[in-house]
Amino acid sequence: MQKFDQAYFDAGIERRGTECVKWDVMAEETGDPEMIPMWVADMDFPSAPAIQAAIGRVAAQGTWGYTRNGQADAQALCSFWERRHGVHLNPGEVLLSPCVVSGMRIAIQALTKPGDAVLIHTPVYGPFHDSVKRSGRRLVESPLAEENGKWQIDFAGMEAAMDREKVKAVLLCSPHNPCGRAWTREELERVLELCRKKNAALISDEIHADFVYPPAVHTSILSLAGEKDAVVMLCAASKTFNIAGLQQSSMVSRSPEMVERLTRQRDDAGITFGNPFALAATRAAYTDCDAWLDGLIAYLAGNRDLVITHAKNWPRVRVTEMEATYLMWLDCRALGLAQDQLLEAIRAAHVYVTDGRFFGSAGDGFIRLNIGCPRPQVEAALRQLDRVLAKG
Ligand SMILES: Cc1ncc(COP(=O)(O)O)c(C=O)c1O
C-alpha cells in the first residue's frame, strides 16, 4: 500500500508549464524566474492516486458526450460528509453546481431579491464581496473582532447591522478564509439563531471543511439546521483534493423549498454540468482518498508548525492561529510599512503572497501565506521573507 507520508508530500509535483495560475500566470506577470508562489489557494501536491486513475479511465473512453450526474455522485458526497464530519445528508438535498463561487451567486440570487442587504464577516475571501455586489444586492460588512490574534464574530455588532440594514441573507465562511477559524458549534448555533430570529437566509461556504486541525473540528451548519431553515451549504472536493480546475461543487439544503428555489435559479441561468472528468474525479475523491487526505492534514500541520517556529524571528509580525485551511494570516501592521511598500518589498524578496486587501479594507496591513506546498518550498519562502519581516 502506498504511504502518504512526509516523503510523499515533500516530493510535490512540477506544475510549471501546465498553464496553472499559481506558477505560470505569476511567472508571466512578474517576469521573475526565482519568484516562489505562496498565493492562490491550491496546492503543489499530486492529486490522490485514486483520482488520477479515475481520470485516466475517463480519458481512455475516447469519447466524452453528455454525461449524467446520477445518484452515485450525490451518494458519494453524503457518505464522505457522514464519515468525515459526522453529518447525515440525503442525496435529494444535494444539487451540483460548477465552482463554489457560482453556487454562492446562485444561492444569493435564489434566496434574496435585487437591492436586499446581504451580510458578510470581514475580512473575508474577495468573491464574497463581489458576489453580493454583482448580484445587485447591498453589501453589509460585519467586521470580525480580533483578540490576541484570534478572530471572533462580534455578535452584538452583527445583530445591530442585521436590524439596521434589514439584512435578508448572511454569507458565512466556515471555516474562515483568511482568519483560519473553525467556528465552534456554539458560535454556529448563535449565527443560525440570529438568522432565524431576523428571518434571514444563511449561506455557509464550507469549501475548507476538510482542512481542520485537531483539537478543532468542523461542524457543518447542516448538523444544526432543519428542513424549515433557509440554510444552504456550499461544498466541493476541489480544494481538498486539488481538483479545482475541474470546476465542480455542490449546494446542499435540508429544506425542500430551498432545493426547489436553487434548482429553478440554476436552471433559469442555463447552467448545466456533467463534465465526465469532474464527476469521476469527485466520486473517487469522496470514496477512495481518505488515507491521502489524512496524510495531507498531518503534513500541513507540520508546515504550519514550521511557520510558527520560524516567525519567532519576526518580532513585529503576528501569526494568526490557524485552526483550519492551509492559509496563514499574518498581521504585519507593526512593521509600519504602507501596504504597497510591504508587498513590493516581499516581491523584491522573490515571494508572491496574497495582499490582505483582497479580503476587504480590514485586510490592510496583512498578508496571506499559502502553505499547501512541499516543506522545502515553505522553508525557502520563509528564508526569503526574513529580508522583510525579520525587522526588529
Ligand atoms: C472560502 C472560499 N470559497 C470559495 C473558493 C473558490 O471556490 P471555487 O473555485 O470552487 O469557486 C475559495 C478559494 O480559495 C475559498 O477560499
Peptide bond into 175 cis (omega under 30): yes
On whether both 281 and 303 belong to a single domain, the answer is no
On whether both 157 and 11 belong to a single domain, the answer is no
The separation between CA 153 and the C-alpha centre of its own chain, rounded to angstroms, equals 18
Which atom of ligand 1 is the closest one to the Cα of 101? 11
Q: Select from 268, 288, 308 the last residue of a domain.
A: 288
With respect to residue 33, please indicate whether it lies within any of the assigned structural domains: yes
On whether both 257 and 295 belong to a single domain, the answer is no
On whether both 165 and 221 belong to a single domain, the answer is yes
Residue nearest to atom 14 of ligand 1 (CA): 41
Which atom of ligand 1 is the closest one to the Cα of 40? 14
Which atom of ligand 1 is the closest one to the Cα of 327? 16
Best residue among 22, 121, 125, 371 to mutate for probing ligand 1, ranked by most atoms within 8 Å of CB: 125
Which atom of ligand 1 is the closest one to the Cα of 249? 10
Ligand 1 centroid, distance to 101 Cα (angstroms):
6
Listed range (135-144, 269-278, 302-311, 356-365) with the worst mean pLDDT: 269-278
Ligand 1 centroid, distance to 336 Cα (angstroms):
31
With respect to residue 139, please indicate whether it lies within any of the assigned structural domains: yes
On whether both 26 and 127 belong to a single domain, the answer is no
CA distance 297 to 293: 6
Ligand 1 centroid, distance to 41 Cα (angstroms):
8
With respect to residue 333, please indicate whether it lies within any of the assigned structural domains: yes
* Distance in Å from the first CA to the final CA of the chain: 49
With respect to residue 207, please indicate whether it lies within any of the assigned structural domains: yes
On whether both 77 and 226 belong to a single domain, the answer is yes
On whether both 273 and 344 belong to a single domain, the answer is no
Helix axes 256-268 and 100-111, enclosed angle (nearest 10): 110
Ligand 1 centroid, distance to 100 Cα (angstroms):
6
On whether both 200 and 221 belong to a single domain, the answer is yes
Q: Select from 288, 308, 324 the last residue of a domain.
A: 288
Q: Quote the mean pLDDT of the chain.
A: 97
Which atom of ligand 1 is the closest one to the Cα of 173? 1
Q: Give 176-200 pLDDT, tens digit per residue.
A: 999 999 999 999 999 999 999 999 9
Ligand 1 centroid, distance to 102 Cα (angstroms):
10
With respect to residue 93, please indicate whether it lies within any of the assigned structural domains: yes
pLDDT score of 392: 65
CATH number at residue 140: 3.40.640.10
Q: Select from 237, 269, 288 the last residue of a domain.
A: 288
With respect to residue 54, please indicate whether it lies within any of the assigned structural domains: no
Q: Give 355-375 pLDDT, tens digit per residue.
A: 999 999 999 999 999 999 999
Q: Domain tally for the chain?
A: 2
This prediction's pTM:
0.97
Which atom of ligand 1 is the closest one to the Cα of 41? 14
Best residue among 130, 176, 177 to mutate for probing ligand 1, ranked by most atoms within 8 Å of CB: 177
On whether both 170 and 309 belong to a single domain, the answer is no
What amino acid occupies position 98?
Answer: P
Ligand 1 centroid, distance to 114 Cα (angstroms):
24
Give yes or no for residue 391 having a pLDDT over 80.
Answer: no
With respect to residue 146, please indicate whether it lies within any of the assigned structural domains: yes
The grid coordinates of residue 329 equal 494570516
On whether both 283 and 295 belong to a single domain, the answer is no
Ligand 1 centroid, distance to 177 Cα (angstroms):
9
- Other CB atoms within a 10 A radius of the CB of residue 318 amount to 18
CATH number at residue 300: 3.90.1150.10
pLDDT, mean of residues 299-313: 98
On whether both 65 and 120 belong to a single domain, the answer is yes
Which residues constitute the domain of residue 81?
61-288
On whether both 178 and 320 belong to a single domain, the answer is no
* Nearest partner of 191 among 210, 215, 172, judged by Cα: 172
Residue nearest to atom 13 of ligand 1 (CA): 41
- Enumerate residues lining ligand 1, CB below 6 A: 41, 99-101, 125, 173, 177, 205, 207, 236, 238, 244, 249
With respect to residue 218, please indicate whether it lies within any of the assigned structural domains: yes
Ligand 1 centroid, distance to 313 Cα (angstroms):
32
Beta bridge partners of 173: 205
The phi and psi torsions of 242 (rounded to 5 degrees) equal 55, 50
pLDDT score of 59: 98
CA distance 198 to 162: 7
Ligand 1 centroid, distance to 312 Cα (angstroms):
31
Q: How confident is the model at residue 266 (pLDDT cuts 50, 70, 90)?
A: very high
